[in-house]
A and B are shown apart, each in its own frame.
Chain A
Amino acid sequence: MISIASCFEETWLADMAPLHERQQFVAIAGAIAIVLIVFELVRRRKLREEFSWVWIATAIGIVVLALNQNLLGTISGWIGAASSVSTLFFGAIVFLLALSVQFSVRLSRLTHRQRTLAQRLALLEEELADARKEKAEAERKMRASQKQSSDEVA
């Protein structure tokens, strides 16, 4: 049976398969692709800067882990992964989950703001229509009164 302490021992790291050169290459190429796509989206103003940093940070993290086998091995030991590739996949899943939760929170906030704006718009439109109606009525009365005065003078 594997104890928690053994996860941090060197034997765990020794048993673990490191990343092959091809796997390293794919990971780094993927990270570079993420960076390029994010840069292009920000340049075209299709992605806001405030959301871009998460992706850039993730890409940097992938490159660091792919180049630093010891660090990847240590993290694999912490989470009990059988191989370094599994650790990368696990990291990706955790990242996507965190991102989804963050987006859900932002979406909830945006939905609330959208609702508030729509409601205020509806109320203001109704009040505006009411004010226009009152104004038209007042103008009609004023014209009638002016006409009556001019008739009296005539």
Chain B
Amino acid sequence: MRASTVLIIPAYCETGRVGEVVRSARREVLAGNLCPIDIIVVDDGSPDATALEAKAAGARVVRHPFNLGYGSALHSGYSAAIRSGYERVLQMDADGQHDPTMLARLTEALDNGADIALGSRYLKGDAPDSSFARRIGTRMFSWIASRWLGTRISDPTSGFQGLSRNALESVVNDGFPEDYPDVDVLVQHHRRGLVVREIPVIMHERLGGLSMHRGARIAYYGYKMLMTLLLMPIRRATPLRSPDTVARVL
């Protein structure tokens, strides 16, 4: 029988890590700490054995024919969730940063009325070390997101999230960002009247692989996010439930 909650794990070149992430999430369910979930790993065109490893660990695998970017991987996961009729979505990274024991906190927040449960590594203050540029960026976008949403958002770049069905339908549209879906998506949720709630979670150092926030990409991330936020007030909003060309079943 299909569960009503699905865990989406976008992955790119995560051989040696993604299998353990899937298994540890399943262990949480078996231990009774987490409600029954299905797991979808979106392999973003990895040239390695990421997809095979995820499948062997028991996940459904949606495999992009080539690399499309983190945002597109998430969007494919959301679309798969919509197409399969799931009621809510959890999402976590495949690199081992996100602790599966925290998933229950996200589902609890969703049960208590949040549309978006945002796992924050900074609420309890024991975040793993990050680079100076990243700390500055996080501070800046945390400030911007908090101003936009009218509530403190300490970790706007967190990919450790839970989404209600309403939030899921809100994000699955053709305007979903292809590269870095962070503050702009949170602001979009807020503008649609969805409730965003931060939940303290534990995050670890990556088990390996490369971060998508590295080198010159950090500068591009800053530019892209500022540009998107600047244009947001005068940009035509993507209509809710617009005919998304990926999620729509023809």
- Tell me the A residues contacting B by CB distance below 8 Å: 111-112, 115-116, 118-123, 125-127, 130
Contact = CB atoms under 8 A, between A and B. Distances in A.
B63 A119 contact: no
A115 B42 CA distance: 14
Contacts of B174: 112, 116
A119 B75 contact: yes
B74 to A, nearest CB: 11
**Per DSSP, are chain B's interface residues mostly helix, strand or loop, or mixed?**
mixed
B62 A126 contact: yes
Given A115-B72, A115-B178, A126-B80, A120 B62 contact: no
B63 A120 contact: no
A118, A120, A122, A126, most chain B CB atoms within 10 A = A122
| From A112, A125, A126, A127, residue with most partner B Cβ within 10 Å | A126
A125 B63 contact: yes
Nearest to B44: A122
A115 B175 CA distance: 12
Interface string B52-65: 00000000111111
A53 B12 CA distance: 42
Contacts of B64: 118-119, 122
Secondary structure of the A side of the interface? helix
A118 B65 contact: yes
A123 B178 contact: no
Contact of B63 (A112, A116, A122): A122
A119 B72 contact: yes
A98 to B, nearest CB: 22
A126 B63 contact: yes
Interface in B139-176: 174
A119 B69 CA distance: 11
22 contacts: A111-B178, A112-B178, A115-B68, A115-B178, A116-B245, A116-B246, A118-B64, A118-B66, A118-B68, A119-B68, A119-B75, A119-B79, A120-B245, A122-B42, A122-B62, A123-B62, A123-B83, A123-B246, A125-B63, A126-B60, A126-B62, A130-B60
A135 to B, nearest CB: 17
Nearest to B67: A118
Nearest to B80: A123
Contacts of A121: 65
